[in-house]
Amino acid sequence: MGRLKARMREAYESNQKNEHRSICLHSFSDLSHVSAATFMYLLKDCYFYGTHKATAKFRILQQQVKRALNNDPQPGPFTYIVQCMYIIPLLGQSHAEGFSHMLISSLRHLKSVESVQKDFIDAKCLAARLVLDILASVVPHEERILVKLLETFDIELKDMAHAFCGSELGDEDLAAAREHLKQHVQYFMKSESYVTAVALMTRFSIQCCDESFLIKLIGSKQYKAAEEWAAFMGKEMIILIIQKYLDVKMLKSANELVKQYDLAEEFPDVNYLYKESSLKKLAEKGCWDVAEVRAKKDTKLMEYLVYLAMEAGYMEKVDELCERYSLEGYVKSLVPEEVMCQSDYLELKKLILEEIVWVDEINGLLSATSYIEACKIIGVDCEWKPNYEKGSRPNKVAIIQIASDKKAFIFDLIKLYEDDPKALDCCFRRIMCSSNILKLGYNLQCDLHQLSQSYGELLCFQSYEMLLDIQKLFKETTGGLSGLSKKILGAGLNKTRRNSDWEQRPLSQNQKEYAALDAAVLVHIFHHVRGQPQFGVNEGRQVEWKSHIVSSHAKHQWTDFYFTIYTPTLDIMWYN
């Protein structure tokens, strides 16, 4: 009997759901007799009972609403949505803004439809009335919804005056509406709602501020609003905002405004300063090839690029650029001692590294593997040739560096893989899957992903034991590994060669030293901080570094695994 009742209950609930679904589908397919309140109730139910995640549900419903608004809502889609906007706050604050954005955005594709133009014009006054009700806090909507209503319905001052005065419009009615809106502008300015204040001022031609308002906008980083307000105020204010941008080194924004408003005569140097700034940022990222492409049409910019390379101590790049563009005379005019700042960076000799070993043949691979297996702690990093084509796949990893505190090995992965992939796989499994070796990295998961993408048929880059990503212990440190090195060891890393050609053979000595340093510095950072009480402090809380050691095992049958993994405890490894 109990089972029968349960089945009957299930059948009843299923029937109710199907009936509810049928009502929803019917309502969405024909809105001619569906009120705004009913529509919003059904829309809310569809959202609550949907099985997708929130973002997916929102997108699906937005498509449903777009289709529904073509199905004869009365008296028209624009008026219908204004009616819905009055209903939405009743759904609850947590959903009001999302539903409002959904409905208003759904109108965009209808603005060009000729058959609904009359409704669009009729709805303007209703939308203006809604804006007044929002400003008066009669209908609770977010300020962003208010701004969106103004834009979507193209509300003008005459629409606001008609909604405000409700009579035939005269000049005094327009003035009264503008004065009323001005009071709201002043309120928004006092409450620091600058975006809304600017939207009202620029749309309804309300002038109630001086240049101090522009300074407030820039100080609060409301740059888009600042530019809109400056454009509304005229050329004098545009010149002022450009000058303010230059004062805070916002050269890109300043240059864009100079071009947009044809002010090159007033700011003749801005474009060149912006190009110099762009070259400097590219150089700091190690994107020298991109910087060269950007600069080669301008001799002065190419000279500046040479200067940046010399400043960074990237002398092989200096020689390369001078030979290619005949800039030897310019270099001779510089005083290298005044330009170069290598002392600001950590140098390999300070780490007292005994040897950098280049490994590109099997005997060297076996010898290096034996040495590394005897180490307790190693640093691991890898490099690949940059690919500047947008959307293209990254190049294969060219080298992998492994360093102890005494010696660094640089493995030529491309050649070793071509010569004997099985030997390469076996040796690196002995390293990566050894539980006797703590492997340090900085964002090493990214490197391992790149390695597995480059050499997917090798198992050695798909599994690992005893891996510690130092980045996770110092999340608050900015500037990547270089920033961490500066914080812990007192000097950052010179990253100028990061994006050099790592597939060229032979690598330059500077490239080898750069590669070795990136791996060796990990070991020195670890040794430097391991015994300090504050090590592992992250965002104000103590973190036990050993808890961040991870392992991962690929789902493969390792039938050719030629060695045994031992798992001694961490305390035995480092404290005995």
The Cα 107–Cα 128 span in angstroms is: 16
Taking each helix axis from N to C terminus, what angle separates 251-260 and 270-284, rounded to the nearest 10 degrees? 140
Residues whose CB is less than 8 angstroms from the CB of residue 301 and which lie 6 or more positions away in sequence, other chains included: 272, 275, 276, 279, 294, 295
The DSSP string of 76-120 is -HHHHHHHHHHHGGGG-HHHHHHHHHHHHHTTGGGTT-GGGHHHH
Higher pLDDT, 116 or 335: 116
pLDDT, position 178: 92
Which of 23-27, 99-103, 108-112, 426-430 has maximum average pLDDT? Answer: 426-430
344 has pLDDT over 80: no
Q: Where are the domains of the chain?
A: 19-155, 209-267, 270-340, 353-575
Weakest-pLDDT range from 43-47, 271-275, 412-416: 43-47
572 has pLDDT over 70: no
Q: Is 170 left (phi over 0), alpha (psi -120 to 50) or beta?
A: beta
Mean predicted confidence (pLDDT) in 463-472: 90
Question: Beta strand 377-384 with 397-403: parallel, antiparallel or unpaired?
Answer: antiparallel
Weakest-pLDDT range from 110-124, 304-318, 328-342, 346-360: 328-342
Read off the pLDDT band of 349 (50, 70, 90). confident
pLDDT, position 168: 64
pLDDT, position 338: 53
553 has pLDDT over 80: no
Sign of CA dihedral 148, 152, 153, 154: positive
Residue with the two structure tokens 């009936």: 19
Read off the pLDDT band of 22 (50, 70, 90). very low
Higher pLDDT, 115 or 531: 115
The highest-level CATH class for domain 353-575 is: alpha beta
pLDDT, position 72: 85
Mean predicted confidence (pLDDT) in 203-208: 92
Higher pLDDT, 552 or 460: 460
**Three-state DSSP class for 282?**
helix
pLDDT, position 285: 81
Q: Is 479 left (phi over 0), alpha (psi -120 to 50) or beta?
A: left
314 has pLDDT over 90: no
The Cα 151–Cα 203 span in angstroms is: 9
571 has pLDDT over 90: no
Read off the pLDDT band of 26 (50, 70, 90). low
Tokens of 376: 């307790």
536 has pLDDT over 60: no
Mean predicted lDDT score pLDDT of the chain: 84
pTM of the model: 0.68
- Residues 354-368: pLDDT tens digits? 899 999 999 999 999
Q: What percent of the chain has pLDDT over 70?
A: 86
Q: What percent of the chain has pLDDT over 90?
A: 51
Higher pLDDT, 386 or 264: 264
Higher pLDDT, 465 or 312: 465
pLDDT, position 576: 31
Which of 310, 315, 291 minimizes the C-alpha distance to 301? 291
The Cα 69–Cα 420 span in angstroms is: 65
300 has pLDDT over 90: yes
Distance between first and last Cα of the chain: 71
Weakest-pLDDT range from 41-45, 375-379, 397-401: 41-45
Mean predicted confidence (pLDDT) in 124-131: 93
Read off the pLDDT band of 561 (50, 70, 90). very low
- Residues 150-202: pLDDT tens digits? 999 999 999 999 888 876 677 788 889 999 999 999 999 999 999 999 999 99
Exposure string of 136-164, with b = 16+ CB inside 10 Å and e = fewer, is eeebebebebbbbbbebbebebebbbbbb
pLDDT, position 563: 36
- Residues 252-279: pLDDT tens digits? 999 999 999 999 999 999 999 999 999 9
